[in-house]
Amino acid sequence: MKTPEQIKQQEIFKTIRSLVNEDFVNIEPRYLCVRENFAKRVEFSTEVDLEFEVNGELESFKSHGDGAVHAMVKGLKSHFTDAGYFTMDDFSFSSFESAASISEKFQAQYNIDAEADAKVHTTLGILNSRGQTLTFEGESRSASMAATQVVLNTFEYLVNCELAVGKVGLVLEAHAKGHLVDKDAALLKLSDLVEVNDYKRLMDKLNKRAML
């Protein structure tokens, strides 16, 4: 059964999809290498080398962190900031949890080895600019795949949310110039998007562009 937060997140995702349409940024994992430094005490003991596709184009980065998930979050945040996504700096790593589970009923019914078939459920917490925690979940039979997928899904959500806010900005800009657009519908969608983050800096930037 979905929680109220999960239901709301899905509703916001539908709003994002409706605004972004064919400009939706799809992110898929391709390769992950994790190196742990056990030899000496260092600030960040884990290095990740991650390759992934963005709308079919292969991209990659290397990053260090306090564990693989922290390193991936840091790396993706930097990667997409460098790619021009204005609000990625608003988000930071908060928490990560994983647990493997398989129902006893399922095991008994199909005579399945629980250790071999258990799914890993992951939960990633991300802080937004208001200090609120956004929670994202994922699941896979591979622990590393479950962790990688939930991190990439999170950034897919955040990147497309920024794009959606930009689409609202274009509607408001068109309205300010006297074009016939549905300003009220755009503002209603914006009220959903600002539950993800305070996009005031981005909206201020868009408003300045509209006045040029």
122/126 Cα distance (integer angstroms): 13
Sequence ranges of the domains in the chain:
4-210
**Which residue from 6, 26, 22 is spatially nearest to 138, judged by alpha carbons?**
6
For residue range 60-92, list pLDDT tens digits in order.
999 999 999 999 999 999 999 999 999 999 999
Report percent pLDDT > 90 for the chain.
Answer: 71
pLDDT digits 0-9 by tens, 19-76: 999 999 999 999 999 999 887 666 778 999 999 999 999 999 999 999 999 999 999 9
Place of tokens 């689409």: 167
Residue 106 has what pLDDT?
45
CATH annotation of 4-210: 3.30.160.270
Rounded CA separation 196/132 (Å): 9
Its pTM stands at: 0.89
If one compares 112 and 139, the residue with the highest pLDDT of the two is 139
Tell me what pLDDT residue 103 has: 52
